[in-house]
Amino acid sequence: MQQDKINQPAAIKTGNIIFGMILMFIIVHIGFHATYIKEFPVFQKYNWLHHIHGALMGSWVMLLLVQPILIHKKKFAAHRFLGKLSYAIAPCMIVSMVFIARNNYETGILKKSAADVMATQSITWMQIVMFILFYSLAIYCRKNTYNHMRFMIATAIIMLGPPINRIIVSYFPDVPIPYIFLISLYVKTAVAAALFLSDLVKKKYLMPGLIVLSTFLFSDVVFHARYSDAWQAVGKFIVNTFY
């Protein structure tokens, strides 16, 4: 999480951010403990790709947790150092997400139709696109503390989707699969909406929150249109290009 210049310190309540990141960490841990961590040390259902992907995603979650703590403690040099590490971690994460998506497609196509698999992958690919967008904007706005913070928080919101899905599947197995996806999508959008409304009420910088909320809303629309000719055409393009 890059931060070349710390300005507007009074405008940011780091305590609230730290609390939110701790909550995200707990949700991620609960979700992946149920489906991944508890398999240690055998991990029979997982291969090296899953381990690399998990390590990269875990490192990002830890960055999101540690960085606001460093700002709160006024450890700006350490914050900048870890921020520069994100230049290596983020691209590796994106590559791993693409490989995981390809692996899921190849596994899914053995059990379902191509249309069904590409419909499900609408969520996966929107997560990749959103991460690229939010991280790029965060780096672009690295000298504007508030905007930088909002876009980095947006990458944390993305992280909520997979563990929420796993929590529901593991502890509420009777919930239909489409509803599981809808719940995780709507929770993320609700968090983005709450942050935007908070900025609106407090008369903060509205543009980053509006971009984040609009993007999550668009992701919801894509999911609802996952069987449309438009998305299926996008899915075929993705499969032919990246798989």
CB atoms within 10 A of CB 123: 20
Q: Where are the domains positioned within the chain? A: 9-242
pLDDT of residue 6: 38
List the one residue out of 121, 16, 15, 131 whose CA is nearest residue 73: 15
pLDDT of residue 3: 40
* Alpha-carbon span 102 to 229, nearest angstrom: 21
pLDDT of residue 21: 94
* Alpha-carbon span 163 to 184, nearest angstrom: 9
Task: Pinpoint the alpha helices (H) of 109-175.
Answer: 114-140, 145-159, 161-171
Q: Are 130 and 215 in contact (CB under 8 A)?
A: yes
Q: Are 63 and 138 in contact (CB under 8 A)?
A: no
List the one residue out of 131, 182, 156, 175 whose CA is nearest residue 67: 156
Residue 71 is encoded by which pair of tokens?
């700002």
Q: Which H or E element spans position 31?
A: helix 14-35
pLDDT of residue 7: 39
Low-confidence stretches of the chain (pLDDT beneath 70)? 1-12
pLDDT in tens, 59-101: 999 999 999 999 999 999 999 999 999 999 999 999 999 999 9
Q: Are 156 and 24 in contact (CB under 8 A)?
A: yes
Q: Which H or E element spans position 113?
A: none
pLDDT of residue 108: 93
pLDDT of residue 12: 63
